[in-house]
Structure formats: structure tokens, C-alpha cells
Amino acid sequence: MKRKDTFLIGIVAGIILLVVVAFVVAMMRPEPTFQPETTPEGVAHNYLLALQQRDLSRAYGYLDPGLPGFPATLDLFTRDLTRYTGALDTNQGSSSWDVLSSTVTNNRASVDVRETYFSQGGLFGSGQYSSTFVMSLVRDASEANWKLTGADRYWAWCWNETEGCN
């Protein structure tokens, strides 16, 4: 009987050790930081990070004001994000993004981004999946800054329409 007790204690101790290690690894993970805004990759990353951190004024600043349906105010930007993208929906799981590559041609760029989505559904209902999407940018007239002109996700399609969002 003592041998079974020792074996059970070993299993419980191993589980506790795994939980502690997982917790330490999760806590040691560095917080995402904003990147320099001088590259299309940096602007794409910063826009997504600003949305994730709910820094909507910063995210709004990355949009190209020359968009046909550019939201004239931060309130309209927030309304459009809520209405057309689901980017501000807090009832979903969480996502992380990795900029994979970019292609720059003259003053235009496209950035490929991989999104990893983590869903939460209890002990056995959780999961994750990855997919890629493209973000389009243009260099402003001063050729110093990149601005977003489109994206397959986290973007209101009506910003690219002359009549804008209604």
C-alpha cells in the first residue's frame, strides 16, 4: 500500500510542477511593444497592437487621410470598427499577430500578417488556428511615414468607398 501512495504523491507533485512551470513561462513572456513607424511592417504591427490595447486614437492615426471614405473623427472610426469589423468585440477569444513579409514597390507596400486566434471554451473546448491576411500601405507625401490604405481584416470596407460608412 505504501508503494501506491508514493506513486500517487509523485504524480500529484509532477502535475503541480508542470502547472508552476507553465505559469512562470506565461508570466516571463515579454509584453508586445510598438515598433518604429518608418517601415510598412512597423505600421502594420503598430495598428494591430493599438487595436488590441484599445488605443484607438493611435490606431486611427495610422489610417491614410486620403482614403475615399476616411472617417472624419475618432468617434466615427470607433463606430466603424465596431459595426463592420468586430475588432473591438471582447466576447471572442484573443489573437496574436506576426508580420511575415512585405513587398514595397515605389510608394506602395503590402504586408502579409499571420494571425493566430485562441478560442476559449473550457477545459477541452479551447483551441487555436492560424490564417494570413494582407494589409496595404502607402508612403505619405513627405516620404517619411507609411499609412494604411486597406486590409483584409480589422478594416472597415467602407473606408475605401467614396460614400464612406453610413
DSSP readout, 74-140? HHHHHHHHHHHT-TT-TTS-EEEEEEEEEEEETTEEEEEEEEEEEE--STTT-EEEEEEEEEEEEE-
Question: Domain 41-160 - what CATH class?
Answer: alpha beta
The domain spans of the chain are 41-160
Residue 148 pLDDT > 60, yes or no? yes
Cα dihedral 14/20/26/29 (nearest 10): -100
pLDDT digits (tens, 9 = 90+) for 27-71: 666 677 889 889 999 999 999 999 989 999 999 999 999 999 999
Residue 123 pLDDT > 90, yes or no? no
Q: For the whole model, what pTM was predicted?
A: 0.78
Report the range out of 6-20, 56-70, 114-128 with the highest average pLDDT.
56-70
Check residue 128 and give its pLDDT. 81
CA distance 18 to 53: 30
Q: How far is CA 71 from CA 49, 146, 159, in A?
A: 20, 18, 7
Strand pairing partners for 118? 94, 128
Strand pairing partners for 146? 139
Check residue 16 and give its pLDDT. 84
**Percent of the chain with pLDDT strictly greater than 90:** 51
Residue 90 pLDDT > 60, yes or no? no
Check residue 122 and give its pLDDT. 64
